[in-house]
Amino acid sequence: MTARNTGLPGKKRCRRAALLLLAGGLLALTAGCSLGGGEEAQPPKPAPVKVQPESDGPAEPAVPSPPPGPKAPLTGLPLGETALARPVMVMINNAPQARPQSGLSDADMLLEVLAEGEITRLVAVYQSSPAVQNPIGPVRSIRPYFIELGKSFGAIQVHAGGSPDGYAKLKKERIDDMDEITNAGPSFWREKSRKAPHNLYTSLEKIRTGAEGRGFTVTGDAALLPAYTFASADAAVQPVSAGGPDGSVEALTLDVTFLVKGYKVGYRYEAGSGRYLRSIDGEPHHDLNNGSQLAAENVIVMGADHKVLDKEGRLDVKLTGGGEALIFQKGRTQKGEWRRGASSEALKFASGGKAVELIPGRTHILIVPNAPDFASHVTYGPTTQP
């Protein structure tokens, strides 16, 4: 019997064809999904990683700038000591026999005023000087208007004797004074190389020791010291502009006569140091202690009313109110004015309605009579003295 053909091989061929069709459809579907956007999709880029610089250790904190140190109230220069010393005013003999004097180059401020006998007297004010053992002198007597100057600085007033009016004022106003004759002899000594009365000397050390012994305050309260305005360090070295808003003019030399016959004070500007060098009667005015010529960054000439009081020629000089002034700085001069409202106030200087900025350093103030007029006492110009 012949076996019957069941047709199984044909079915296998159909199944194989179906599988091939299914695989082709899957491939087409996959391709469609990949190309449906037109371009192949890109995977997202990772965010950049910030790389910190390598460090050897923790960052050091910023070091703050040290606060500016205290400045001397009368010079504007750095003050080495934290405590502010109370100013000391010493009356200095300016007679020819007393020159050269000692200790004037150490004074923060030096004032010159007429006295009787057709001579001037010097008023040396010390506050920041470290030269406490240096001799100061020769020391001379006091007058009421010198007392006014001392009050202007809140100073201990040092002298040898005084006029009757001077002593009366010291007593009435209870001025802290050191007088060689009446109350402070041990604070002075006589120099044998000179003849009296041009040989009396003292020192800041002796003055302050004696003042403490008398119960005087020797350390100043900064709030009570004269508050002068000083130029900045940069401005202090810049020359004043010719024809500038301050109205200044060139002044390399100046002469002050006080209208005293045969007496003339001169100053010559030294550009290298920025100071005016002082002379008397054409000769350099030296300090006996160190041989240096007296010099100042600021020279101020101010006019005040003078009146003769008695047959001895004693004077009254009005040092309240105000008046004309000439301010000499950096080889130039400008017109200004001085003011002092009350008897306890400091001398102040202004120009063009503004406080004069002093150049840091020393200041010399020359007080001349207003009669016959202020201008007659002062001459100045652009030429240097030989």
Q: Using the predicted structure, report yes or no on whether residue 151 has a pLDDT greater than 90.
A: yes
Cα–Cα–Cα angle for 376, 377, 382, nearest 5°?
Answer: 90
Tell whether 142 is covered by a domain.
Answer: yes
Tell whether 360 is covered by a domain.
Answer: yes
CATH number, domain containing residue 100 = 3.50.90.10
Give the model's pLDDT for residue 261: 82
User: Strands 321-329, 253-256: parallel, antiparallel or unpaired by DSSP?
Assistant: unpaired
Tell whether 54 is covered by a domain.
Answer: no
| Integer Cα distance of 32 and 16 in angstroms | 25
Tell whether 273 is covered by a domain.
Answer: yes
Give the model's pLDDT for residue 222: 66
334-342: average pLDDT: 94
Overall domain count for the chain:
1
Tell whether 151 is covered by a domain.
Answer: yes
Per residue in 84-120, pLDDT tens? Answer: 899 999 999 999 999 999 999 999 999 999 998 789 9
61-74: average pLDDT: 72
Q: Which two tokens stand for residue 343?
A: 């008897």
Tell whether 30 is covered by a domain.
Answer: no
215-237: average pLDDT: 78
Q: Which two tokens stand for residue 39?
A: 């371009």
User: Strands 332-340, 321-329: parallel, antiparallel or unpaired by DSSP?
Assistant: antiparallel
DSSP 8-state symbol, 344 = T
| Confidence at 313, pLDDT banded by 50, 70, 90 | confident
Tell whether 332 is covered by a domain.
Answer: yes
Average pLDDT, the chain: 84
Q: Are 162 and 178 in contact (CB under 8 A)?
A: no
Asked which of 27-41, 218-232, 285-299 is least confident by mean pLDDT, the reply is 27-41
Report the share of the chain in percent with pLDDT over 90.
Answer: 66
Range of the domain at 259: 88-381
Tell whether 298 is covered by a domain.
Answer: yes
